[in-house]
Chains A and B, each alone.
Chain A
C-alpha cells in the first residue's frame, strides 16, 4: 500500500482532484483531506459516523441512569440502619444521583465514541510526512490517497499535478 500526497492551496482544486481520482476507481475511504482548520465546503467522506457519537452519548446516559438506580437500590438493600421511620434512600436523592450518573455516562460515552470513531489515541507512528504536516499547519490542504494498485500511482500523481498541487509525494 502506497500513500500519495498532494498539497493544495485552493479547496476547489483539491476537490477537483478528489473527483477525478474517484473516477479512476479509488475507493472513497482511501481518500483523505487533511487540514488545520475545518473546511466546511469539503465533503469527500460520505458518512463520517457523527450519529454514533450521539448514540453513544444517549446509551451512556441510559447506562448511567440505570447504575444510579442500581446504586440506590443496592444501598437500600445493604445498609441496615434503623432510621426511625425514614427511608435509607428516598426518592428525591435517588433522582439526583441518577441525574449525576446519567451525565457521567453521557460524557464517557461521548469521549469514548469520539476517540474511537476518529481513530485517535492509537499511539502508532503516523505515516504522514512531518514536512507536509508543517505545510498543512501553514494553511495548505493535504490530499492523502491510499493507493492499492501500483498501476494507479502514476495517473494519480498526474491528476494531482494537473489539478494544481504544488507538492506531490
Chain B
C-alpha cells in the first residue's frame, strides 16, 4: 500500500509534539507535587488572611494598595503576550509565527486567570465580591459604572472570554487529530474536538474565524491594560494622575508579555526537546521585538519622569525623589537595570541573541517589570498629597507566600496544559510545510484548471 505523501514528516511531528501528552516521567510528577504544595500553602495563607482580615499583610494607611495590586497589574500585563504575538503575526501572515502561537495564547489565558484573582485577594470582604456584578437583587444592589474597577471587571471578563476562544478555536483540529491517533484518553479529545472532521469547508470557516478573532482580540487587549492603568490614572494622586498611563502600561504589558513567551518557549524547548520547533530564529526575531519594546518602555518612562520633575510640583516631587533617592531607590534602580541596562546589550548584540541569551534577558525584563509596577504603586501610596501622612510598606510573609503561590499556580496550569494539549499547533506546522512546498508541487495553472 502506498504511503501518504507527508507520511514521514507527519509521523515525526506527531512523535515530537504528542510525546509529552502520553509520556510523563518521575520528574514531571515531582515538579507537579512541588508546585501543588506551594499552591496549597498559598491557599492556606489566603484562608488565614480572610479569617483575620488584612492586618496579616503589610498594608496600612496610607498604603492601601500594595503587593496584591502589583501582582494584579503584573499578571494582566503578562497576558498581553498571546495577543500581540499571535494576533498581529497572524493578521500580517508572518510565517515564523507558527510554532509559537499556541504557547503565547496559553500564556494569555492563564495569566488572565491569575491576575484578577489578586483583585479578589485584596478585597476587604471577598465574600461579597459578586456585588460588582450587575444583576437584579432583592437588596437593590447595583454596581457603579463610574468606578474604574467596574471598567476593569467588564474589560477583563471580555478579554478572558475572548482569549479562551482564541486559544480554543485554533486547537480544535489538533484535538480531532489526537482523537484519531491517541493511544489513551480518546473520550476527552472526542468531547473537546466537537466532532471536527477536517473537511475543506470546515478549514475555510475555521481560518476565517481565527482571523476575525485576531481582529477582535487586539483592541480588547489594548483596552484591558488601558483600564488597568486608569485605576491609577483616574485618581488625583501625585504621579498617578497622568495622561500617558494608558499607553505606558500597554507598552509595559506587551514588553513583559513577550518576555514571558520567550521564557516559556525556552523552558518547553528544554523540557520537551522541541529544538526543531522553537528554533534560534524565533528567539532572534522575538528578541528583536523585545529590544524594540525595551526602547519604547524606556522612552515612556523617561517621558513620564521627566515631565513630573520639570513640572516641579511639590507633591509630585516628593514621590519622584522617594523613588529616585529615597526608600524606593533600590527597587527603582533595579527596575532601570533589569528593564533597560541589562537586556539592551544582550538583545542588541547579535552574538548574545542566542536562545539562552534571550531567555536570560527575558527573566530580567520580567523581574524589572514587576518592580516597575511596585514602584509606581508604593511610591504614590506612601506619599499622599498632604505631607502629614507619609507611610511605609514592606510585604508580610502572607503576601509573599500568596505571590509565590500564584507563580506556582501559573507554572502548574501551564505544565498540566502542555500535558493534555500539544504546546505547538500541529496543523499550523503542517500547513507551513505545505505552503513552503506548494510553490514546488503545484503550478497555479493546475489549480485553476481543476477549479473551473
Contact = CB atoms under 8 A, between A and B. Distances in A.
Answer whether A and B touch in the complex at a CB cut-off of 8 Å.
yes
A79 B208 contact: no
Given A40-B435, A100-B151, A138-B7, A50 B204 contact: yes
B246 to A, nearest CB: 12
B128 interface: no
B209 A114 contact: yes
Nearest to B6: A139
Interface in B399-436: 427, 430-431, 434-435
Interface string B5-19: 111011100100000
A35 B196 CA distance: 11
Most chain B CB within 10 A, of A53, A114, A122, is at A114
Nearest to A49: B205
Interface in A37-87: 37-45, 48-50, 53-54, 57, 71-72, 75, 78-79, 86-87
Nearest to A106: B216
Most chain A CB within 10 A, of B145, B155, B162, B446, is at B145
B1 A166 contact: yes
B205 A107 contact: no
B161 interface: yes
A9 interface: yes
Contacts of A141: 4
Nearest to A111: B165
A122 B434 CA distance: 30
A134 B181 contact: yes
B2 interface: yes
A154 interface: no
Given A104-B158, A130-B180, A138-B7, A35 B203 contact: yes
A101 interface: yes
A9 B3 contact: yes
Given A37-B431, A94-B145, A121-B195, A107 B208 contact: no
Interface string A122-164: 1110101010011111111100100000000000000000000
B431 A38 contact: yes
A24 interface: no
A40 B438 contact: yes
Contact of A45 (B162, B200, B446): B200
A48 B202 CA distance: 8
Interface string B426-452: 010011001100100110001100110
B69 to A, nearest CB: 20
Nearest to B193: A120
Contact of A36 (B150, B173, B446): B173
B201 A72 contact: no
A18 B208 CA distance: 24
Given A107-B213, A117-B205, A136-B180, A71 B161 contact: no
B157 to A, nearest CB: 8
A44 B197 CA distance: 16
Contacts of B151: 93, 96-97, 100
Number of contact residues on B: which range applies? 35 or more
B183 to A, nearest CB: 12
B179 to A, nearest CB: 8
Contacts of B223: 96, 99-100, 103
Most chain B CB within 10 A, of A15, A48, A54, A121, is at A48
A45 B434 CA distance: 20
Contacts of A87: 146
A125 B4 CA distance: 26
Contacts of A44: 200
Nearest to A136: B198
Contacts of B11: 138
B325 interface: no
Contacts of B161: 104, 107
B207 interface: yes
16 contacts: A10-B5, A15-B450, A36-B427, A45-B200, A48-B201, A50-B204, A53-B212, A96-B227, A100-B223, A107-B158, A107-B213, A110-B209, A114-B169, A114-B209, A126-B195, A137-B180
Interface of A: 9-12, 15-16, 18-19, 32-45, 48-50, 53-54, 57, 71-72, 75, 78-79, 86-90, 93-94, 96-97, 99-101, 103-104, 106-107, 110-111, 113-115, 117-124, 126, 128, 130, 133-141, 144, 166-167
10 tightest A-B CB contacts, nearest first: A37-B430, A139-B4, A100-B154, A139-B6, A50-B208, A114-B209, A48-B204, A120-B194, A140-B4, A38-B203
Interface of B: 1-7, 9-11, 14, 134, 142, 145-146, 150-151, 154-155, 157-159, 161-162, 165, 169, 172-173, 177, 180-181, 194-209, 212-213, 216, 219-220, 223, 227, 427, 430-431, 434-435, 438, 441-442, 446-447, 450-451
